[in-house]
């Protein structure tokens, strides 16, 4: 992990991981309950959290290098 990591990257990582874990947990609970389509929707709702984390880290890397 780089030494000079901006604080907003850490906040985005924490929020993204919380969002992904919440969406996956709800998806698993719905899948256990037999609700296949709502569980798939919940699983797909973890994608925006991952995208947010990737975009913030890419933006931080580009601002550091350039």
Does 36 map to a domain? Answer: yes
65 assigned to some structural domain: no
Taking only the tens place, the pLDDT of each residue in 13-55 is: 999 999 999 999 999 999 999 999 999 999 999 999 999 999 9
Say whether pLDDT at 60 is over 80. yes
- Structural domain harbouring 44: 7-59
Residue 16 domain flag: yes
Tokens of 8: 């907003």
Residue 4's pLDDT band (cuts 50, 70, 90): confident
How many distinct structural domains can be found in the chain? 1
Report phi then psi at 5, rounded to 5. -95, 125
Number of C-alpha atoms within 13 angstroms, CB side, residue 18?
6
In a domain, 66, yes or no: no
Cβ-count burial 2-14 (b if 16+ within 10 Å, e if not): eeeeeeebeebee
Note whether residue 11 is domain-resident. Answer: yes
Please tell me the predicted confidence (pLDDT) of residue 56. 93
């Amino acid at each position: 992990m780089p030494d000079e990591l901006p604080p907003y990257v850490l906040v985005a990582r924490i929020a993204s991981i919380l969002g992904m874990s919440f969406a996956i947990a709800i998806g698993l609970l719905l899948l256990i309950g037999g609700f296949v389509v709502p569980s798939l929707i919940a699983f797909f709702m973890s994608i925006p959290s991952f995208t947010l984390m990737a975009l913030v880290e890419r933006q931080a890397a580009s601002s550091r290098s350039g």
